[in-house]
Amino acid sequence: PAPRTVLLTGAAGGLGTLMRNLLPAFGYDLRLFDLRPIDGEPDAVVADLADRDAVREAVRGVDAIVHLAGISLEASFEKILKANIEGTYHVYEAAREEGVGRIVFASSNHALGWTPRPQGDDPLIPVDAPRRPDTFYGLSKSFGEDLAQFYWDKHGIETVSVRIGSCFPEPTSVRMLSVWMSPADGARLFHAALTAEDVGHTVVYGSSANTRLWWDLSTARALGYEPCDDSEPYAAKLIAEQGELDPENPAHARLGGHFVTDPPIWPY
Ligand code: NAI
Ligand code: 15L
């Protein structure tokens, strides 16, 4: 049966806000979870992923989990370790203890952000390309995908790991023309990931059907995902403002864009 009650972690965040507004139209009853309270959502669970008991309680009785909570940019290793690595482990342990059989994990293109981006007639990047994290953040997403595989192999918990490109209302850079996922396509993809049968651990890229796409959407489509959007209508304006991607610029040469070159954001 399709999951109905879904725990949405990271519900106060950018993507969490988009998804908590869009997913109910697909018939889900969402339970919200975040470190931060959410205006107008008094029933949301306000807790830290570090609190195992709170995570377990939040997971109790749901049919599936969409796990978005965590640090979403580069940070110190210690912070990434706590929120993304230990936090995601707590979510999987809670799912095992409470018998939740399906997780949708917000992985990221930064799990393989060091991969050269396709240029010219280069083939699209397949899902089985080696992971090459570009940051501690990307490393935590690579860990999350391995954790998902482990919990499937050892405990039978299914996961769709969605290597999200950039899910924002509009693309705001030339790189994003290739990796953008419209919020509506994001909701379609999460719905497919929640309802497809026998996914085991499936890895998919998360984006719209962009004209300038860099990766292969076939595993996402195999779940039943049919993207409806394309960033191309935004291309002329963004390219006029920012210029085409420059292959000589290291921040334009790899999948992870500026995550590859920017100094890490040390949160002091
Ligand atoms: P965000 O930073 O806006 O939201 C993350 C949320 O997680 C925040 O509301 C924060 O309070 C919560 N959070 C952080 N640490 C927590 C903890 N220890 N316990 C409980 N809650 C905690 O990030 P965004 O953009 O909404 O991303 C959501 C997820 O999707 C993240 O895992 C991110 O890595 C992933 N992702 C997002 C992409 C995007 O385009 N928005 C691209 C690729 C991956
Ligand atoms: C991510 O993983 C980040 O969470 C998001 O904020 C964007 O920076 C996105 O990748 C991207 O690559 O554009």
**pLDDT score of 1:** 64
* 2 three-state secondary structure: coil
121 pLDDT more than 60: yes
Query: Distance from the CA of 260 to the center of ligand 1, in angstroms?
Result: 19
Dump pLDDT digits (tens) for 29-63. Answer: 999 999 999 999 999 999 999 999 999 999 999 99
Please give the full DSSP string across 135-190, using - where no structure is assigned.
SHHHHHHHHHHHHHHHHHHHH--EEEEEEE-B-SSS--STTHHHHB--HHHHHHHH
Q: Is 137 a catalytic residue?
A: yes
Question: What average pLDDT does the chain have?
Answer: 96
266 pLDDT more than 60: no
Specify the ligand 2 atom closest to the Cα of 141: 2
| Residue range 226-251: mean pLDDT, rounded | 96
Better-predicted residue by pLDDT, 1 or 149: 149
Model confidence at 265, pLDDT cuts 50, 70, 90, reads: low
* 117 three-state secondary structure: coil
210 pLDDT more than 70: yes
Query: Distance from the CA of 73 to the center of ligand 1, in angstroms?
Result: 8
CB 175 within 8 A of CB 215: no
Residue 166 near ligand 2, beta carbon < 6 Å: yes
Dump pLDDT digits (tens) for 235-247. Answer: 999 999 999 999 8
Model confidence at 264, pLDDT cuts 50, 70, 90, reads: low
ipTM of the complex: 0.99
**pLDDT score of 268:** 36
Q: Please name which ligand lies nearest the alpha carbon of 106.
A: 1
Candidate of 20, 68, 89 to mutate for ligand 1, largest count of ligand atoms within 8 Å of Cβ: 68
Identify the structural domains of the chain with CATH numbers, from first to last: 5-259 (3.40.50.720)
Residue 141 near ligand 2, beta carbon < 6 Å: no
Provide the whole-model pTM: 0.98
Question: Which residue's CA is the closest to the ligand 2 atom numbered 9?
Answer: 166
Residue 115 near ligand 2, beta carbon < 6 Å: no
